[in-house]
């Protein structure tokens, strides 16, 4: 092994090592850029999920309020009772109207008799 062989070996090793480091740096930078893009994508997805999760929570609350309101809303039997009460009230009003007309007719007859015969 001569000095020239050793120098050539060192030069080849230096060349291979330099290109190995360059390749490693290229792959590391590429990996770093990929990780940054994926990190940004994850943040965007999390932000969108948080917004959608908030919207879903708001919708769930609205649905719960609607279900609670629907449970306390009048049902068919309640409406049937109201209908029966209105019908009963209508019959009473018709009776009162009839009695009032009868009283009006009687009063007219009395006034008519007074007008014809005078107050004697």
Q: Which pTM was predicted?
A: 0.39
**What mean pLDDT value characterizes the chain?**
89
How far is Cα 51 from Cα 57, in angstroms, rounded to an integer?
Answer: 10
Residue 49 or residue 9, greater confidence: 9
Percent of the chain exceeding pLDDT 90 equals 58
Domain ranges of the chain: 1-73, 75-120
- Dihedral angle over CA of 16, 17, 23, 25, nearest 10: -170
Q: For 66-111, how does the pLDDT look when each residue is reduced to its tens digit (9 = 90+)?
A: 999 888 888 899 899 999 999 999 999 999 999 999 999 999 999 8
Tokens of 23: 């390749």
Tokens of 18: 């330099």
Least-confidence region, from 33-37, 105-109, 115-119: 115-119
């Amino acid at each position: 092994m001569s000095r020239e062989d050793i120098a050539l070996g060192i030069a080849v090793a230096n060349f291979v090592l330099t290109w190995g480091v360059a390749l490693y740096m290229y792959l590391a930078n590429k990996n770093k850029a990929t990780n940054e893009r994926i990190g940004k994508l994850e943040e965007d997805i999390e932000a969108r999920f948080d917004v959608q999760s908030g919207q879903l929570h708001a919708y769930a609350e609205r649905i719960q309020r609607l279900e609670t309101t629907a449970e306390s809303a009048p049902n068919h039997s309640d409406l049937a009772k109201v209908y029966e009460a209105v019908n009963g009230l209508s019959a009473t009003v018709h009776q009162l109207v009839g009695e009032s007309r009868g009283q009006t007719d009687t009063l007219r007859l009395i006034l008519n008799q007074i007008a014809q015969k005078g107050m004697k």
